[in-house]
Each structure stands twice: as C-alpha cells, then as structure tokens.
Chain A
C-alpha cells in the first residue's frame, strides 16, 4: 500500500458543487501539504499544516479550505467548484528532523475536472 493515499483519484463535477479531496498517510509525519499542478506552472502550494492544530495558507488558498482531522489525515475542500479549479491535486508529507532536508513524500494525485 502507498504511504500517502489520496481519494478520489479522479473526479468530474459541475460548477458550484462542493468537493472534498482526502489524504491519509502512514509515514508518521507531522507535516502535510496540498499542492495544485497545472501544465507549465509546476506545483503551487494551497495549504499546509505542521501539526493537528496548525493550518496555514499557501500561495493560492482562495476558493479552498482544509481540515486536519488527525496527524494522519488532511482534507482539501472546494466549497463551490469553478472550472479554473480543474487541475491535478497532490497531497504531500514531510518530517522535520532538525535539518532542512526538503524531501516531500507525495501521493499519486487526484485529478479534478470542473465542468
């Protein structure tokens, strides 16, 4: 089984619908992230959390919200989906070992299409 699991892997929805993407991890990491990938733009950070009681906005948080239900779970919600939120979404985790290793561990991605 994958260490970082995202559900659903693919979702097609309509404008205005509420969507939740879920992420769970078995790596025991404190830090979790949601990124969005668009062609030619690389990955952009939406939200991140350094522990269960910590939520932080990334560079493109507008239109999104998150919930850190437990150390192992981090959910991303689109309250009212719009077509320009069509993208590939990645959850990632990392540890903090006292040095800046920069290694993130990614899930396999959730492809969202908003019609």
Chain B
C-alpha cells in the first residue's frame, strides 16, 4: 500500500543546532516533493519544492534533499531558532492530476 511517513511526531533540539526532519515514502513515484510549515491553529505555509532530478535545494537556512532511490527527503534547518518551532509537513506531488499527499508532520521545538 502507499505510505508517506515523517520520522517522528516530535523533535526537540537546542537553539543553534541543525534540525533534520525525515520524510519517507513507499509505493509512490513523486515528480516533486514539497515542504510546508504549520503553526498551531493556522494553515500550512509552503516553504520549498524539489524536483525528482534535483538532489538538493536551499533557501536561506533551509536545505532539502531528495533521494528517489532511497525514497526519502531530508529537511534541514541550520542555526535553528526558537521561532522555527512549528510542525513541518512533507507533501508528495504524484503527478497524474491528483492533489498533493501530505505526511502527518513532525512537531519541532527549538529550545533556547
């Protein structure tokens, strides 16, 4: 069956460290993978998109990798800050005119 899994429900890290979140999928062949941020009580906000032929994408302190062999994407936040505390969602673009498939999210807490 098709599955998308984000490594852990919650992740706590110390301010200044690099946070690494994982998104694994099975029985999908996504053309794109997207990452979103969601704050409590609000809608998700799009952060980054990476294509299947791209290994890495960066935006300021964010870096996303996409390994179609391992069927995995890693999302890194370097020099993390308490303001980065939120839930981060990965989403698969499976093509074929279908909506994105969202993971359950990882709740990141950056402790000062």
Are A and B co-members of a single complex?
Answer: no
